[in-house]
Structure 1
Amino acid sequence: MRRKIPSTTSLMAFEAAARHGSFARAADELFLTEGAISRQIGRLEAFLGVTLFQRIGNRVRLLPSGERYAKQVREVLDRLDRDSLYLMGQPHDGANLDIATIPTFAMRWLIPRLSRFQQKHPNITVHLAERMEPFVLAGSGFDAAIHFEHPAWTGMRTHRLLSEVLVPVCCPDLLKESPGGATLDSIPRLHRRQNPDAWQRYAQETGIPLSNPAIGACYDLHSMLIEAALAGLGVALVPRLYVENELAQGRLVAPWPEGKTISKTFCLILPESIELSGEPVQAFARWILGEANTS
């Protein structure tokens, strides 16, 4: 069945006129005459059988039906523009992978290792996008996701990568400056807003007494907590896998024990099994599983 889709020229003229509230300004933007804009919009209205603008002398006013349609057309044109630029930037002899992931995991673990993947597969370009919450992978436009284990991934193929074990860290100077000795309770505690009871659970697991474990500054992301700890603002309870470099360099210290329970588990999520996936996805999946095994 033939699709009921207006011409792109008419849609672009309409979107510009709706955004500016003026045929003249739309004409200036699109390098057309005002009459050409008017004719394109007239053709669009005839195609749709709907009046989009009210014409009062030399002025025009977008009608309610036009306002709704303008928003929808703008979203479609923006998406078409992004998709076109994406394809234009794709190498002729290569492939693209779109991976959704948690931002701190990407910055602290994945990106520092991606050069090794590029060395092995120079013809595959990996694009990363942030997704804080689980989502429906099918139809999302992503080839894979790296996220926490979650019931939302039921039906998908999940492959465990790493476990998130929390450890208190701070900059070395805080241990020297802490009044009454370097006790965990004497240093300001930093909190992740999404995990407000983490310090209380840590105290129960380790037997380290903490007075008022909920007191302290809150941050949204683990990456913020790490930067705050590096800045000497307090002690942060963060996944060890995020701070291995800082601990090795001595920029952060962790003289206290790790938490006894695994907080969360990172997984690679695929819409189908690795063997049935396309070659670029197979290459990335096998690489990241290998990296996780050696971490």
Structure 2
Amino acid sequence: MSLRPDWLSALAAFESAARHQNFAHAGEELHLTASAVSHHVRKLEARLGVVLFQRHARGVALTAEGRQLADAASTAMADLEGVLGGLRAASDDSDRVRVSTLHSLAYTWLLPRLPLFAAAHPHLRLSFDTEIALTRFDEGGADLAIRHGPGHWPGLSAHLLMGDTLFPVASPAFPGLARITQAAHVARLPLVSDLSRQGWHDWFRAAGVHGTNLDERYSFSDATDALNAAAFGLGAALARERVAAPYLAAKRLLRLPGPGVPARWNYYVVYPAHRPLRPAARVFLDWLLAVPVD
């Protein structure tokens, strides 16, 4: 037996009545009268040649045949709602860009520049996920990621965003800072580090300072936490220029003597190479690559 279009309204009335076990409540849900629901159900019973409900004074109850059809109708409605919800979500998200990035870069470099993007593209919406772990570009996940690394990852397209430079910083109020006049003197201070692959030993080696015992007293997983620790006077932190810029501008941190060492890793914008970017994500990528980095 084929399912004709004119059966759909009767099936919808039946499915609602079966859930509520009540024609009046089904009518309220469907904006119909109880008698209209009853009419749809009777029409369905007549076409199928079976009784779907037992009618009695206190209401209605499904028959065995009615329960069988109710289970199938409920499953079909749930499947339809899932598909419709997915289509609706895809439509609603057409103007949303999902971005994964490091918390340190988002807080100190990206956020101060986002008002420029918002002014140029007020119709687009942005969602950010800040984490250290590498992004998984699952379906429904990030469109773009900003990564700090060597610039090549299997299966990803990578665009250079900017380079970086490392140098030591400390709070201007740190005791005895006036006596720190050369790179070797920095080793006298308690040192704050983060999980960057390029750390204090690399900087002192590049600065020509050797044979010194380093007091790496505090370690943080996030670069902004390390900078905040230095700003609160715990010691000297090895700063990345892009992340430290607002701290230096606000005079919460002071650059210490010694060279700026080019970072071995740079910042890149990446996305899966096997699938095209959605239009909204392409707009944000183009803006990122064009925005002034300094």
TM-score w.r.t. the length of structure 1 is 0.62
Runs of 4+ in 1 over 3 A off after TM superposition: 86-91, 149-152, 178-182
The answer to whether structure 1 residue 217 and structure 2 residue 218 are counterparts is: yes
What corresponds to 2:190 in structure 1? Answer: 188
Residue 177 of structure 1 deviates from its aligned partner by 2.6
Residues 161 and 268, structure 1, Cα contact 8 Å, conserved in 2 = yes
1:214/1:154 CA distance change after superposition, 3 Å: farther
How far apart are residue 287 of structure 1 and its match? 0.7
Q: Contact 1:96–1:125 at 8 Å: present in 2 too?
A: yes
* Distance change in 2, residues 1:273/1:164 (3 Å): farther
Deviation at 1:229, TM superposition (A): 0.8
Name the structure 1 match of 2:128. Answer: 128
- Contact in 2 for aligned 1:192/1:218 (Cα 8 Å): yes
SS of 1:126's equivalent in the other structure is strand
What's 1:289 paired with?
Answer: 289
> What is the Cα deviation at residue 279 of structure 1?
2.0
Superposed displacement of residue 214, structure 1: 5.2
Higher gyration radius (CA): 2
Name the CA shift for 1:122/1:160 in 2 (closer, same or farther; >3 Å).
same
Counterpart amino acid of residue 189 in structure 1: L
In structure 2, give the amino acid aligned to 1:286. Answer: D
**Post-superposition shift, 1:139?**
3.2
Percent sequence identity is: 20
Task: Report the Cα offset of residue 247 of structure 1.
Answer: 1.3
SS of the aligned residue for 2:216 comes to coil
Return the offset for 1:166: 1.4
Residue 273 and residue 288 in structure 1: after superposition, are their counterparts in 2 closer, same or farther (change >3 A)? farther
CA RMSD of aligned residues (A): 3.6
The 1:181/1:96 distance shift into structure 2, 3 A limit, reads: closer
Gaps of 5+ in 2: 1-14, 16-66, 72-81
Comparing 249-258 with 200-209, greater Cα deviation is found at: 249-258
Q: Aligned partner of 2:102: which letter?
A: I
Deviation at 1:155, TM superposition (A): 2.5
Instruction: Tell me the CA shift for residue 226 of structure 1.
Output: 0.7
Change (3 A) 1:226 1:237: same
Query: What is the aligned partner in structure 1 of residue 26 from structure 2?
Result: none
Q: Secondary structure at the match of 1:229?
A: helix
Q: CA deviation at 1:167?
A: 1.2
Provide the rounded CA distance (Å) in 2 between the counterparts of 1:159 and 1:258: 28
Q: Would you say the 8 A contact 2:108–2:243 is kept in 1?
A: yes
Match for residue 270 of structure 2?
Answer: 269
Q: Which residue of 2 aligns with 1:31?
A: none
Residues 169-212 of structure 1 show CA distances to partners (whole Å, capped at 9, x for unaligned) of 101122x53596553122211111454x7111111111135732
1:86-125 to 2 correspondences below 5 Å? 87=89, 95-125=95-125
Larger deviation, residues 221-230 vs 157-166: 157-166
Is the 1:184–1:210 contact (alpha carbons within 8 Å) kept by the matching residues of 2? no
Q: Matched residue of 2:173: which SS?
A: helix
Q: How many residues align?
A: 213
In structure 2, the partner of 1:241 is: 242
How far apart in 2 are the matches of 1:216 and 1:144?
36
Following the alignment from structure 1 to structure 2, what is the Cα–Cα distance between the partners of residues 210 and 171?
Answer: 26
Alignment-derived partner of residue 176 in structure 2: 177
Alpha-carbon deviation of 1:158? 0.7
State which drifts further: 232-241 or 209-218.
209-218
Matched residue, 1:156: 156
Q: Which amino acid aligns with 2:171?
A: C
The answer (yes or no) to whether the contact 1:165–1:264 under 8 Å persists in 2 is no
Amino acid at match of 2:231: L
Q: Distance in 2 between matches of 1:294 and 1:144?
A: 18
Relative to structure 1, is the Cα distance of residues 277 and 252 closer, same or farther in structure 2, using a 3 angstrom cutoff? same
1:122-169: CA deviation from partner (whole Å, max 9, x where unpaired): 010110012312244253621111112358732221100012321111
In the alignment, the residues of structure 1 paired with residue 207 and residue 104 of structure 2 have an alpha-carbon distance, to the nearest angstrom, of 26
Residue 143 of structure 2 is matched in structure 1 by: 143
1:211-259 deviation per Cα after TM superposition (whole angstroms, max 9, x unaligned): 3225311111101101001101100002011111221232211132344
Structure 1 257/179 Cα, relative in aligned 2: closer, same or farther at 3 Å?
Answer: closer
* 2:98–2:128 contact (8 Å) kept in structure 1: yes
Q: Is the 8 A contact 1:178 1:187 kept in 2?
A: no
Structure 2 Cα separation of the partners of residues 246 and 265 of structure 1: 20
**Structure 2 partner of 1:15:** none
* Contact preservation (8 Å) 2:143, 2:277: no
